[in-house]
Amino acid sequence: MKIRTMPDSTDRVAEATIAPDSPWFDGHFPNQPVLPGIAQLEMVFDLIRRYASRPLRIAEVSRVRFKRMIVPEDRVTIVATPRPANANVYTFRLEKADGLVTTGTMTVETTTEETDN
């Protein structure tokens, strides 16, 4: 995942090309691989975590809408924007060249230990 800096913006932005040999594709689905929704949420959380100065965990995910599939070799832009009233709540979206893929809201909270969540 390559982080892209957005001057004068609170958006957290990254670009990723989905590797065809990713373990996320194992069994999902044979002969027609599709990136699972949980993998997409992990990408969003990874982006948020890279900007954090403290260990985080996911507290809640809501309003998630999966609109298009992500397949091997797709180039995806991930955008997470903290809400002005609560910096622990992010609206997010994943996009490909042909349009919007996934949208939702992710709430994070500080944890006392570093986790893989």
Q: Give residue 6's pLDDT band: very low, low, confident or very high (50, 70, 90).
A: confident
Contacts of 49 (CB under 8 A, 6+ apart): 56
Coil vs helix vs strand at 37: helix
* pTM exceeds 0.85 for this model: yes
Cβ neighbours of residue 73 closer than 8 Å, sequence gap 6 or more: 17, 18, 20
Work out the pLDDT band at 104, boundaries 50, 70, 90: very high
Q: Which two tokens stand for residue 67?
A: 């609109």
Q: What is the pLDDT of residues 29-86, one digit of tens each?
A: 888 999 999 999 999 999 999 999 899 999 999 999 999 999 999 999 999 999 999 9
CA-CA distance, 56 to 33, in Å (whole number)?
30
Rg from Cα positions in the chain: 14
What's the confidence (pLDDT) of residue 115?
Answer: 53
Predicted pLDDT of residue 27: 83
pLDDT at 117 over 80: no
